[in-house]
Amino acid sequence: MPSKRFITAVGRRKTAVASVLMVKADKNNVTVNGKTAKEYFKTDLRALIAVEAFAKSESTEHYAATAHVQGGGIAAQADAVRHALARALIKTEPKTRAVLKAAKFLMRDPRAKERKKPGLKKARKAPQWSKR
């Protein structure tokens, strides 16, 4: 979409929501809540997960992305950023869709915490049974 100056996309995981604004740049660069991905996620693994969509996309263009993430934990936020970046990449380069879909970056992971039921300690854990 050459007519637009930037691309936006939203990614989700558990209760984490990431909104990404992506523009063309000299090299792939991601900032999350005003910090670099490495500074924000603190571990190399989480930072790599967040920018994994760029590595798998095999695109010739480079983009700078600004992500705003809220909710969930650090792991869910990294997955939400990856989901949003993948969605933004297919808007700019539709040819990358097959690669990103095969890597399962376009699918929103539906797993979330199950709600607590009345009479139970947690979602499924029951109080200890006593005979007397």
Q: What is the pLDDT of residues 14-53, one digit of tens each?
A: 999 999 999 999 988 999 999 999 999 999 999 999 999 9
Phi then psi for residue 87, to 5 deg, are: -65, -40
List CB contacts of 78: < 8 A, sequence separation 6 or more.
41, 46, 47, 49, 50
User: How confident is the model at residue 37, as a pLDDT?
Assistant: 94
- Assigned token pair, 115: 């709600």
CB of 9 closer than 8 Å to CB of 85: yes
Topology annotation, domain 7-102: Ribosomal Protein S5; domain 2 (3.30.230)
* pLDDT beyond 60 at 61: yes
Q: What is the pLDDT of residues 66-93, one digit of tens each?
A: 999 999 999 999 999 999 999 999 999 9
- Name which of 75, 99, 76 is nearest 86 in CA terms: 99
CB of 36 closer than 8 Å to CB of 68: no
User: How confident is the model at residue 58, as a pLDDT?
Assistant: 80
